[in-house]
Amino acid sequence: MYQIDFNKPCRVHFIGIGGISMSGLAEILLEEGFTVSGSDMKDSDLCRHLREAGARVTIGQAAENIEDPDVVVFTAAIHPDNPEFAAARDRGIPMLSRAELLGELMKNYGEAINVAGTHGKTTTTSMISEILLQAGKDPTITVGGMLPSIGGNIRVGGSDYFVAEACEYTNSFLSFFPTVSVILNVEADHLDFFKDIDDIRHSFREFILRLPQDERGLLVFNGDIREPEYFLSGLGCRVLTFGHGENCDYRAEDISYDEFARPSYTLMEKGQDRGRISLGVTGEHNVYNSLSAIAVARSLGMEIPEIAAALKAYKGTERRFEYKGQVRGFTIIDDYAHHPQEIEATLRTAAMYPHKKLWVAFQPHTYSRTKALLPEFAKALSGADSVILADIYAAREKNTVGITSADLAEKIAETGTDVHYLPDFESIRKFILDHVEEGDLLITMGAGNIVDIGNQLISM
């Protein structure tokens, strides 16, 4: 494995430098004095920003773009027949995947805080980041959504703190080197890669073992996860738990909500009442996300008042129960939920939000996930009064499993829930304008481009 050492800047070439994650990693290296080059298939604001920061960015990919780098970085979307990938391989130039580079970067920080879980990663990473920022800790941050307080998804800090999401898909997080790991939940997902839930649980156990197995390592673990002893047995690192259980180190008591479903609760820290915490984001699920963030912050020596102030100030990231506006008197919220548990959490939040009738325009994400979790999706979506289904967003897949949104519509109908399958966005927009009424709440939901429907309605 090629070593990235901030004390020894080298020449790094990125294949696919214009992606939101790759561009962020390139920016970190530029700030640390590395010589950065890269290519992408089309120009973009991110490419232009990197050029302004000193990178050499080429549009179009060709073997001659590989000049004399010390190491080449590539994403999972790059295939071996890519001309730049092939040129680097044939010349024996060291190569790192995006995940491997991210892991190498972590080694250069005293505290590398990783947030893992099937869902909630972006919000919790953002909460931890917000606390560190408010406390003046000057962290470096890489997050999977757009965080308003840093004006994007990346922040290059000047301290020893590094905060990052740790994604389990393709076992990316097994390339990381955390000193602090948060495990939010472990559920069945990404079944186009993992064999089953046991395979997923095994990967999370392996990720936990990436921590230093001594006092330098800290695991912040959701005590509500099924059979926690599987994950916790034999560990040498420190462990803090959060959740519902009386034995959890961090718990919430006396949860209440304001008129917009924003929770407040009494923080219990190792059995001691630490006062009220009020969140600037909605929903019970965010109570537990915030408990994990508090556990991390407390382990780093931060005081409750500064933590509480940061959590109240944090208003969320894009596409996490994001208020978009009103059209003809009905409210539009957008949410990234694309797993049944996420959908259930979002709809529990929506139930407390002012509305007459709750509509969900849902775009399933990937064929494999929809097929594997079809009954769970139907049950989760039955929490809405009416559901509008778009076609499945393919993402990285082809439909080899023979599933369509019509199958999901049939399952939802079996629950007695009003459901409408409309394949194209134009039909969905027209249906919404014809049927959603003043005082109703519409949530556009999914990890694909369903957000475009709300944006277009708002811009009318």
Exposed/middle/buried for 364, CB within 10 Å: 0-12, 13-18, 19+?
buried
Side-chain-side CA neighbours of 417 within 13 Å: the count stands at 26
387 close to 414: Cβ distance less than 8 angstroms: no
DSSP 310-339: HHHH----TTSSEEEEEETTEEEEEE---S
Question: DSSP 3-state helix, strand, coil percentages of the chain (rounded to 5)?
Answer: 35, 25, 40
Tell me how crowded residue 217 is: count the other CB atoms within 10 A of its CB: 20
What is the Cα–Cα distance from 307 to 309, expressed in whole angstroms? 5
What is the Cα–Cα distance from 247 to 249, expressed in whole angstroms? 6
Residue 16 CA: distances (Å) to CA of 214, 294, 361: 38, 36, 32
Beta strands per DSSP E along 290-425 = 322-327, 330-335, 358-362, 386-389, 418-421
What is the Cα–Cα distance from 338 to 284, expressed in whole angstroms? 18
194 close to 200: Cβ distance less than 8 angstroms: yes
Point out the residues that are catalytic: 121-122, 165
Task: For residue 250, give the nearest of 170, 200, 311, 203 by alpha carbon.
Answer: 311
Beta strands per DSSP E along 128-269 = 140-147, 152-155, 161-165, 180-183, 218-222, 238-242, 250-257, 263-269
Q: In what order do the strands lie in the sheet with 11-15?
A: 56-59, 35-40, 11-15, 71-74, 95-97
204 close to 182: Cβ distance less than 8 angstroms: no
Q: Let me know how many helices (H) and strands (E) the chain has, helices first.
A: 15, 21
